[in-house]
Amino acid sequence: MPVFYGEIIESPMLLGTSLYPSPAIMAEAVRASACDIVTVSLRRESGSARAGQDFWGFIRDLGVRVLPNTAGCHSVREAVTTAKMAREVFGTPWIKLEVINDAETLAPDVFGLVEAARILSGEGFQVFPYCTEDLGVAERLVEAGCEVLMPWGAPIGSARGLNNVYGLRSLRAHFPDIPLVVDAGLGVPSHAAAAMELGYDAVLLNTAVAKAGDPVAMARAFAQAAEAGRLAFTAGAMEPRDMAAPSTPVLGKAFLE
């Protein structure tokens, strides 16, 4: 089970709360996923006008831990300001840190991300950075105070799965003691299973569940896939081979002349 900043997490799945057909369906999907953590984006105007507080209250009633998100922020200043408002609204030092570089791919601005992570860590935040699988960036995020890393599988909402399996595997090997969460790009449950089979601690997704024909059933499917992947990793999967290996022993086989 992953441990995020000293908190033991039972479920290997984190779920986003946007894009659902209704709040009621979102709540059912969260329950079906059996997740411990949901992510919630915070609009900047919420800090002063308290807009959307009914929704925040609705989320808290689900009985899961809230991970506020700086989604939509394109600069260090935006991200830091949004994080501070999120801490005020939700009363948590946790923050999923996004600093977006490109509007088309929603790729992280890794330079701004490291800077914002350093600022927020210095102010007592426990930062969950949405990053790439680049080892150099990951090292700088850890140096900046991040105790969890959240590399993307593919661009947000793309449903492309794990675009760089080699990079994700290398990141896992390089940081054996850092909790790692594949965040973004997962489209089907098998993507979640594949991430967990690499040894990742959890997966975070939103669009694949919220935009499914049946979000509740899809949430359940992802939860089961993530759990299956975790069990497969801990069980110790066999290594792939180039040649066939018989599963039936030849001892006792009849030989005809």
For the annotated catalytic residues, the residue numbers are 96
Q: How many of the other CB atoms lie within 10 Å of CB of 160?
A: 15
Q: How many of the other CB atoms lie within 10 Å of CB of 109?
A: 19
**Residues that constitute the known binding site:** 157, 184-185, 206-207
**Residues that constitute the known binding site for 1-deoxy-D-xylulose 5-phosphate:** 157, 184-185, 206-207
From the list 164, 159, 257, the residue with the least C-alpha distance to 210 is 159
Residue with tokens 């948590």: 92
How many whole angstroms separate alpha carbon 168 and alpha carbon 173?
A: 9
Instruction: Report how far apart, in Å, the C-alpha atoms of 202 and of each of 27, 172, 242 are.
Output: 20, 12, 30
Q: Around 78, how many Cα atoms within 13 Å sit in the side-chain half-sphere?
A: 18
